[in-house]
């Protein structure tokens, strides 16, 4: 098990913990108006999208020769890759062309999440909440899908490169999972579900 590291880098990434905390107090004044149906559908989208994201990472590993056993079965990958893979090594060894594609893919990911959010709600408060709801579920299930398929990350103290925009964000896996979990709780407890449809025409 890796040594526990409290801080992410660069330093400002650690400030992300303030986002759900600040929104909790902001939304307490006036509850969010989002239906359970909307949260469920957006959650399903986030889970499915997380698998697409994890699949991209698996393909990158295979294309760069960092995924032993990929020509065989998933169980072969799990056995042969266990304990030798580092997401940070993958990022550092990406050819310039793939690094550029990966950078653009991350930008496209945010645009896709934002687009779905715009379709799911009319008001800015709810749009922010739904965007963060999808993002948090996507983030958690991204690691779930990777562990389920290739047994990575090995544990919550495994180091990962979270994003490349505008510079690489590096932290242990527990950090994004913690923030995402808190975000989901904050949104749920600050949402009023009574009498709401998927998207109210009067809102």
**Per-residue pLDDT tens digits of the chain, which is 203 residues long:** 578 999 999 999 999 999 999 999 999 989 999 999 999 999 999 999 999 999 988 888 787 776 766 767 777 776 666 655 566 666 666 778 888 888 898 899 999 999 999 999 999 999 999 999 999 999 999 999 999 988 888 899 998 888 887 888 999 999 999 999 999 999 999 998 865 554 444 44
Specify the pLDDT at position 92. Answer: 67
Q: Which two tokens stand for residue 30?
A: 């006036």
Omega of the bond leading into 111 within 30 degrees of 0 (cis):
no
Strand partners, 172: 159
Pairing of strands 169-172, 159-163: antiparallel
pTM of the entire predicted model: 0.85
The pLDDT score that the predictor gives to residue 200 is 47
Task: Give every CB contact of residue 88 below 8 A, 6+ residues apart in sequence.
Answer: 159, 160, 161, 170
pLDDT of residue 95: 77
Q: How many CA atoms are closer than 13 Å to the CA of 97, on its beta-carbon side?
A: 2
* Cα-based distances in Å from 185 to 116, 128, 180: 21, 15, 9
pLDDT of residue 9: 93
- Peptide bond connecting 10 to the previous residue in cis, omega within 30 degrees of 0: yes
Q: Distance (Å, rounded) from C-alpha 37 to C-alpha 101?
A: 35
């Amino acid at each position: 098990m890796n040594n526990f590291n409290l801080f992410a880098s660069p330093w400002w990434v650690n400030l992300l913990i303030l986002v759900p905390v600040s929104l909790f107090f902001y939304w307490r004044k006036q509850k969010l108006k989002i239906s359970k149906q909307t949260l469920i559908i957006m959650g399903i989208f986030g889970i499915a999208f997380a698998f697409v994201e994890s699949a991209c990472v698996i393909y990158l590993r295979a294309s760069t020769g960092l995924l032993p056993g990929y020509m065989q079965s998933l169980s072969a990958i799990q056995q042969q890759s266990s304990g030798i893979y580092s997401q940070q090594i993958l990022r550092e060894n990406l050819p310039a062309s793939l690094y550029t594609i990966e950078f653009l893919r991350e930008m496209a990911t945010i645009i896709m999440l934002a687009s779905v959010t715009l379709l799911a709600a009319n008001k800015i408060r709810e749009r922010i909440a739904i965007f963060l709801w999808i993002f948090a579920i996507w983030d958690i299930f991204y690691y779930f899908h990777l562990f389920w398929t290739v047994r990575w990350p090995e544990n919550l103290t495994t180091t990962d490169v979270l994003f490349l925009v505008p510079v690489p964000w590096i932290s242990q896996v527990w950090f994004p999972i913690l923030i995402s979990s808190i975000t989901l709780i904050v949104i749920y407890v600050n949402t009023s579900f009574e009498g709401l449809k998927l998207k109210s025409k009067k809102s």
